A = this chain, B = another copy of it.
Amino acid sequence: MNSKEKILIQAKTLFAERGFADVSMRGLAKTVNMSAAALYHHFPDKNTLYLETVQYAFADKALLFSEIWKIDSSAEKKLGLFVDSLIQVLISDSEFHRLIQRELLDGNTERMKILAEDVFQQQFYFLLVLMKEIAPERDAHSLAISVSSLCMRHIEMQSLCRFLPDWKQEHENPEVIAKHIISLLLNGLKGDT
């Protein structure tokens, strides 16, 4: 593995965990056993390093769900698989998840465009098709946002939920979360569980 890739891997970890302002070039250099000066051979400045780190972290995510859309099954079943997969990806690559959260919070327009086009767009498109099939009389865009919102936030709220009434251990089980979301989407509050 070349140096640049080694740097990007560690940068992803550090930026995800502590954010842009709280990561120093010195600190990053230490984790890859380099001097800080050496980083500047690979990246012109800290800002560019961050941008490239984000793009690196997002690079392979666009294709992650492609098998789901090809499956010959009902739209509801596909939606279930998508929710399962999204939750699994967010949990298994929590650095990726945290970088998305940070980008959403920052709201930089240029990087929003990158996030939209490089990460979300393809899956979002298929999700739109699915929504139009399941609920043709509704607003597909809003529904697709709702699906991803539910998956992401249910995970992000875990550290808070422990301190809220009626919390149970099982609420942190990914499969329980997924099942809840699917059921809510398909049936609404009043449907069967």
Which A residues form the contact surface with B (CB < 8 A)? 18-22, 98, 101-102, 104-105, 107, 109, 112-113, 115-117, 120-121, 124-125, 128, 131, 134-135, 137-146, 148-150, 152-154, 156-157, 159-168, 171, 176-177, 180-181, 183-193
Tell me which residues across on chain B come within 8 A of A22, comparing CB atoms. Answer: 20-21
Tell me which residues across on chain B come within 8 A of A131, comparing CB atoms. Answer: 189
From B113, B149, B164, B165, A157 is in contact (CB under 8 Å) with B149
Q: Once the chains bind, are A180 and B146 in contact (CB under 8 Å)?
A: yes
Tell me which residues across on chain B come within 8 A of A146, comparing CB atoms. Answer: 150, 154, 180-181, 184
Whole-angstrom distance from the CB of A28 to the nearest CB of chain B? 15
Contacts A19-B21, A124-B164, A186-B188 given; does A159 touch B101 at CB 8 Å: no
20 A–B pairs (Cβ distance < 8 Å), ordered by A:
A21-B21, A101-B104, A102-B105, A104-B156, A115-B163, A121-B163, A124-B164, A124-B165, A134-B189, A137-B193, A138-B193, A141-B167, A141-B168, A142-B180, A145-B154, A146-B181, A149-B153, A153-B153, A184-B188, A185-B188
Q: Specify the chain B residue showing the minimal Cβ separation from A105.
A: B101
Copy total for this chain: 2
Whole-angstrom distance from the CB of A46 to the nearest CB of chain B? 13
Tell me which residues across on chain B come within 8 A of A184, comparing CB atoms. Answer: 143, 146, 185, 188
Tell me which residues across on chain B come within 8 A of A181, comparing CB atoms. Answer: 146
Q: Once the chains bind, are B186 and A157 in contact (CB under 8 Å)?
A: no
Q: Once the chains bind, are B113 and A163 in contact (CB under 8 Å)?
A: yes
Q: Once the chains bind, are B98 and A105 in contact (CB under 8 Å)?
A: yes
Q: Once the chains bind, are A157 and B19 in contact (CB under 8 Å)?
A: no
Q: Once the chains bind, are B186 and A189 in contact (CB under 8 Å)?
A: yes
